Amino acid sequence: MTTQMEKRMTKRALFMALLATGALGAACTPTVRIKVDPINIYAKLDADVRVRLDKEVQSLIQQNPNLF
C-alpha cells in the first residue's frame, strides 16, 4: 500500500521528468534562417511616377484644351 507521501513523490518525479523532456526537446529544435537579397524597386517607382505625371498632364490638357 502506498502512502500519501509516496504518491506526492511519484507525481513530483513524473512532473520533473516531463519538464526535463520538454527542455531537451526544445534544445534540439532546428534553426531555420532565410537570407533575403536586396530588391531593386527603382523601375517600379519610375513607372509609378510616370503614370502619375501622365494623369496630371491629361487632366491639365482637359482643363485647358487651348494650352497647346
Percent of the chain exceeding pLDDT 90 equals 0
In a domain, 59, yes or no: yes
In a domain, 33, yes or no: no
According to the model, what pLDDT value does residue 19 have? 83
According to the model, what pLDDT value does residue 44 have? 60
Calpha distance 61→40 (Å, rounded): 34
Are 60 and 67 within 8 A, CB to CB? yes
In a domain, 62, yes or no: yes
- Per-residue pLDDT tens digits for 15-42: 888 888 877 776 666 778 888 888 776 6
In a domain, 16, yes or no: yes
With a CB cutoff of 8 Å and minimum separation 6, the contacts of 61 are 67, 68
Query: Residue 51's domain spans which residues?
Result: 4-28+39-67
In a domain, 34, yes or no: no
Quick one: pLDDT band at residue 60, thresholds 50, 70, 90? Answer: confident
Quick one: pLDDT band at residue 45, thresholds 50, 70, 90? Answer: low
Region 41-55: what's the mean pLDDT?
69
**What total of structural domains would you count in the chain?**
1
